[in-house]
């Protein structure tokens, strides 16, 4: 993979390619199912509010189910756990499709949505577990690729789901999602089984040895910081919507602006993974956070929507890299025997933070206007840096401050 640097070295590892492709197939429904469900409920009930409540059930289920699944993955056979969750998740998607076709009431659909969220298989964490079997100095590039894959899922998935739902019905989308989950997970387990067992990386083992209390402090502080960071993804859609309302009510800027940000995030993630970073975790974190936060201040004074687009584009360039670095730090501090559970708390932080951002964003922008929403988003990034700062001090005492720089070994 000439020209892609460390990222190319990951893609050049032949044994990882089918695992990456399988995880992508199995996770595409993450960007599709909720959109299809919202369209289906709104079409059958005529209420966007009801559709939102039903979709929120899935978010709540995911936040509750992730730590439970993470604990099981740390203590039981990982292949069996993933297979069971994938089987249940596919069945929940089939049940939602049948529920929409039968025009079930909002209560039953919400219950099915909760089951859908509870059963989402942790393919993201499992894929990171497999990717980290690359050489130690390639792990950051591997996690950058993982962050880019997530962005791809949430760029392509909603667009495909909306198009198919309009053309063939949301039930078709949900049934297709079930098939993708089953096929992707089966493929993933078939090609990644050899790497789904085993210990954590050497640097994480060093942290685990006799330093449990310090590591717990790091995990708690850092997860709370990730929660602050995730609130931005709740604030921004509300702020952009309010911005559009203040300028005539045309809501097209909402979709355009967020799409621009997602595409730029994908580009930024790929670029981040293509560079061999020598900066330590703390310095890199602060620089990426500044790059993310400063453009978000521009719409506070923006005269028009084009300026908002540019600001979101620049902020997006730092989103996937910052996400990737957060995943890498969680990986480095993961305790042997609790790595998957540590990763799952990152999922909870992202879910809860985004939900809190949406709720607070609605209140703030309704009272003070769209500028307050963008300002709140920038302040949330600053809050993340402040909350996470003590964690980096503890990491420094533990000796976990940066990626290994030893020459990569050939593992292809």
73 and 190 in a common domain: yes
CATH of the domain at 264: 1.20.1250.20
The pTM of this model reads 0.82
145 within a domain of the structure (yes/no): no
| Any domain includes 411 | no
How far, rounded to the nearest angstrom, does the alpha carbon of residue 36 sit from its chain's CA centroid?
19
How much is the pLDDT for 210?
A: 40
Structural domain range at position 321: 202-398
pLDDT score for 200: 44
Indicate whether 190 and 212 sit together in one domain.
no
Tens of pLDDT, residue by residue, the chain (412 residues): 445 677 777 878 888 889 999 999 999 999 899 889 988 888 888 777 788 888 888 888 998 999 999 989 988 889 999 999 999 999 999 999 999 999 899 999 999 999 999 999 999 989 988 888 877 778 888 888 888 888 899 888 888 888 898 899 999 999 999 999 999 999 999 987 777 765 444 444 444 444 444 677 788 888 999 999 999 988 988 888 888 888 776 666 667 888 899 999 999 998 998 888 888 889 999 999 999 999 999 999 877 888 889 999 999 999 999 999 998 888 887 776 788 888 888 888 988 888 888 888 888 888 898 899 999 999 999 999 999 888 888 778 777 777 765 544 443 3
Indicate whether 257 and 184 sit together in one domain: no
User: What integer pLDDT is reported at residue 253 of this predicted model?
Assistant: 66
Phi-psi domain of 249 (left: phi exceeds 0; alpha: psi -120 through 50; beta: other): left
CA distance 272 to 259: 20
Domain presence at residue 407: no
Nearest residue to 313 via CA among 383, 261, 253, 368: 261
Say if residue 172 is in the same domain as residue 235: no
Give dist(CA 109, CA 41) in Å, integer.
Answer: 9
Taking the C-alpha atoms of residue 236 and residue 370, their distance in angstroms, rounded to an integer, is 9
For 282-311, letters b (16+ CB in 10 Å) and e give: bebbeebbebbbebbbbbbebeebeebbeb
Q: In this predicted structure, what is the pLDDT of residue 393? A: 81
Question: What is the domain count for the chain?
Answer: 2
């Amino acid at each position: 993979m000439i020209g892609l640097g460390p990222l190319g070295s990951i893609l050049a590892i032949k044994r990882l390619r089918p695992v990456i492709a399988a995880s992508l197939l199995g996770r595409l429904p993450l960007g599709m199912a909720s959109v299809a469900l919202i369209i289906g409920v709104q079409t059958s009930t005529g209420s966007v509010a009801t559709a939102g409540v039903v979709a929120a059930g899935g978010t709540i289920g995911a936040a509750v189910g992730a730590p439970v699944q993470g604990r099981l993955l740390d203590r039981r056979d990982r292949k069996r756990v993933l297979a069971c969750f994938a089987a249940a998740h596919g069945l929940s998607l089939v049940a939602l499709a049948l529920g929409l076709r039968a025009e079930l009431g909002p209560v039953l659909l919400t219950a099915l949505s909760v089951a859908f969220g509870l059963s989402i298989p942790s393919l993201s964490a499992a894929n990171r577990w497999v990717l980290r079997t690359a050489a130690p100095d390639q792990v950051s590039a591997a996690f950058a690729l993982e962050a880019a894959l997530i962005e791809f899922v949430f760029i392509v998935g909603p667009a495909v789901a909306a198009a198919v739902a309009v053309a063939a019905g949301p039930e078709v989308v949900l049934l297709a999602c079930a098939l993708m989950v089953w096929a992707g997970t089966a493929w993933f387990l078939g090609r990644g089984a050899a790497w789904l067992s085993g210990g954590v990386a050497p640097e994480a083992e060093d942290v685990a040895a006799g330093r449990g209390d310090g590591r717990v402090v790091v995990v708690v502080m850092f997860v709370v910081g990730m929660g602050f960071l995730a609130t931005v993804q709740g604030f921004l859609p509300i702020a952009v919507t309010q911005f559009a309302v203040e300028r005539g009510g045309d809501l097209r800027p909402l979709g355009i602006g967020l799409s621009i940000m997602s595409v730029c995030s994908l580009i930024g993630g790929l670029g981040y993974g293509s560079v061999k970073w020598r900066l330590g975790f703390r310095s890199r974190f602060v620089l990426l956070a500044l790059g993310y936060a400063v453009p978000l201040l521009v719409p506070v004074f923006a005269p028009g929507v084009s300026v908002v687009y540019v600001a979101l584009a620049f902020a997006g360039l730092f989103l996937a890299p910052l996400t990737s670095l957060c995943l890498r730090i969680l990986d480095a501090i993961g305790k042997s025997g609790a790595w998957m559970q540590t990763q799952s708390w990152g999922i909870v932080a992202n879910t809860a933070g985004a939900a809190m951002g949406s709720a607070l964003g609605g209140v703030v922008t309704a009272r003070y206007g769209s500028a307050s929403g963008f300002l709140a988003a920038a302040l949330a990034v600053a809050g993340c840096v402040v909350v996470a700062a003590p964690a980096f001090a503890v990491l420094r005492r533990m000796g976990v401050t940066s990626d290994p720089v030893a020459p990569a070994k050939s593992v292809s």
